[in-house]
Chains A and B, each alone.
Chain A
Amino acid sequence: DTTVKQNPRYKLARVGKPVNLICSQTMNHDTMYWYQKKPNQAPKLLLFYYDKILNREADTFEKFQSSRPNNSFCSLYIGSAGLEYSAMYLCASSPQGRGEQYFGPGTRLTVL
């Protein structure tokens, strides 16, 4: 089973309010990723956890936070949502060294 789950599937948020998105996988993958995808654009890597170590991309370093309380769960946190955060957020996981990533269905975030 290569299932990655994301909750919620749709999220409506107000400008300036926090947002918390959840991802889970039961494949015991050691790496979990968060991507942001906007229409007609490539998925953009925001951050990833390799085991318990968080790596954030340089250009999104201050905008997104994450936690991974155990191997199966990973969250994406936006402290203060702006209109520019409206996008699809994709979670993925990968077994060590394999490279291929398995994606969840995504959470569509709309900020008003």
Chain B
Amino acid sequence: AQSVTQPDARVTVSEGASLQLRCKYSYFGTPYLFWYVQYPRQGLQLLLKYYPGDPVVQGVNGFEAEFSKSNSSFHLRKASVHWSDWAVYFCAVRVNYNQGKLIFGQGTKLSIKP
């Protein structure tokens, strides 16, 4: 079945430290993958997207993600987190090419320690 798993419900890191948020997907075929972020009291914003090609994709605000077909993963990384990164992060896979239907993971809540 097509699915997305984010194994860490909560992650806490110190400001200035590096970050990795994990995402595993299950999809038959070539996946199109996305990371979205939800800041408090706001809707979802697109951070970055993977379309088949270079496995490392760059996003906004210094985020990047790496696609691995062998591991069925699409982990999100940032070299140095800022307090403004405090948010919930969602990984998603597109499961219908023509209509763009997405399946989301349950999200990872990121907290920043001063």
Which residues of A come within 8 Å of B, CB atoms? 4, 6, 31, 40-43, 45, 48, 50, 55, 90, 92, 94, 96-106
Q: Is the CB of B46 within 8 A of A41?
A: no
Let me know if B102 is at the binding interface, CB within 8 A.
yes
Q: Is the CB of A100 within 8 A of B90?
A: no
Which residues of A sit under 8 angstroms from B102, Cβ to Cβ?
Answer: 45, 99, 101
Main secondary structure of the interface of B (DSSP, over half): strand
With A105-B42, A105-B43 already in contact, 12 other A-B pairs whose C-beta atoms are closer than 8 Å:
A31-B99, A43-B90, A50-B98, A97-B97, A99-B34, A99-B94, A99-B97, A100-B46, A100-B49, A101-B46, A106-B42, A106-B43
Q: Is the CB of B34 within 8 A of A103?
A: no
Q: Is the CB of B46 within 8 A of A102?
A: yes
Which residues of A sit under 8 angstroms from B99, Cβ to Cβ?
Answer: 31, 48, 50, 55
Encode contact with A along B46-70: 1 for CB under 8 Å, 0 otherwise: 1001010000000000000000000
Which residues of B sit under 8 angstroms from A106, Cβ to Cβ?
Answer: 42-43
Q: Is the CB of A104 within 8 A of B106?
A: no
Which residues of B sit under 8 angstroms from A40, Cβ to Cβ?
Answer: 9, 106-107
A39, chain B: closest CB distance, angstroms: 10
Let me know if B44 is at the binding interface, CB within 8 A.
yes
Q: Is the CB of B106 within 8 A of A42?
A: yes
| A and B contact pairs by CB, cutoff 8 A, 8 listed | A42-B105, A97-B98, A99-B32, A99-B51, A100-B34, A101-B46, A102-B46, A106-B43
Which residues of A sit under 8 angstroms from B46, Cβ to Cβ?
Answer: 100-102
B15, chain A: closest CB distance, angstroms: 25
Let me know if B45 is at the binding interface, CB within 8 A.
yes
Which residues of B sit under 8 angstroms from A99, Cβ to Cβ?
Answer: 32, 34, 49, 51, 94, 97, 100, 102
Q: Is the CB of B100 within 8 A of A103?
A: no
Which residues of A sit under 8 angstroms from B32, Cβ to Cβ?
Answer: 99
Let me know if B113 is at the binding interface, CB within 8 A.
no
